[in-house]
Amino acid sequence: MTSTESRSMPTDMVTVVTHPLVRHKLTHLRARTTSTAGFRRLVRELSLLLAYEATRDLKLEPVTIETPQETMEGEELSGKKLCFVSILRAGNGILDGMLDLIPSARVGHIGLFRDPETLEAVEYYIKLPDDIGDRICIAVDPMLATGHSAVAAIDRLKNAGCNSIIFVCLLAVPQGIACLQKAHPDVRIITCSIDRELDDHGYICPGLGDAGDRLFGTK
């Protein structure tokens, strides 16, 4: 394992974040006994840690500042600005934590639902910043399961002119990763875990259940 500040394990375009805090919080997130309030809190905390990894390669430029003691050369972000894109509805749980870290980021929303028969993604809403083509986009959705929703969302981002995209999720499975990489090999994937498989209904196993239902207290 490559030793980095966040103790992440990179594999080509897929990064599994293995920091001890991430592993601890993910274990409690998976537990069926975790309350709705606890689930929301854990997703928000994990999202902040994932945002840290997703923004690792942002460019910096020198800036001169005055400290209480003296003048010094510091660094600040330069170049392209960020846009977080939530894949509704469950993506909003991750969005909140990322905005805690970078409150100045623009936000887009893509509404998709999974057809229960075909498991294909169907769009019902989309709203993106006009200048999204000038921004680094971080698309967020708790689960990368079949991969159809992620592919559909990224299709729409690219159609809107975005060519710098990172996909961030809490859990993924090999099938979903393969689907996304086949359609969009240029998109980096960041996740907390690559789980074993999908069940017959398209849910991740061992997983954490339906992320949207657990976030919002619905069934």
Domain of residue 42, CATH code: 3.40.50.2020
131 is in an annotated binding site: no
Whether 1 is in a domain gets the answer no
Domain that holds residue 153: 8-216
Could you tell me the two tokens for 132? Answer: 């999204």
Whether 2 is in a domain gets the answer no
Domain count, the chain: 1
147 is in an annotated binding site: yes
Contact at 8 Å (CB) between 165 and 158? Answer: yes
Active site residues: 114, 118, 210, 213
pLDDT tens string 24-52: 999 999 999 999 999 999 999 999 999 99
pLDDT reported for residue 9: 43
Contact at 8 Å (CB) between 198 and 191? Answer: no
33 is in an annotated binding site: no
| Per-chain mean pLDDT for the chain | 90
Q: What is the pTM of this model?
A: 0.89
Could you tell me the two tokens for 93? Answer: 């749980």
Whether 3 is in a domain gets the answer no
Whether 167 is in a domain gets the answer yes
pLDDT reported for residue 78: 83
Question: Residue 132 has what DSSP assignment?
Answer: G
Residues of the chain with pLDDT under 50: 1-10
> How many beta carbons lie within 10 A of that of residue 71, not counting itself?
8
What are the φ and ψ backbone dihedral angles of 69, each rounded to 5 degrees? Answer: -100, -40
How far apart, in whole angstroms, are the C-alpha atoms of residue 50 and residue 1?
Answer: 18
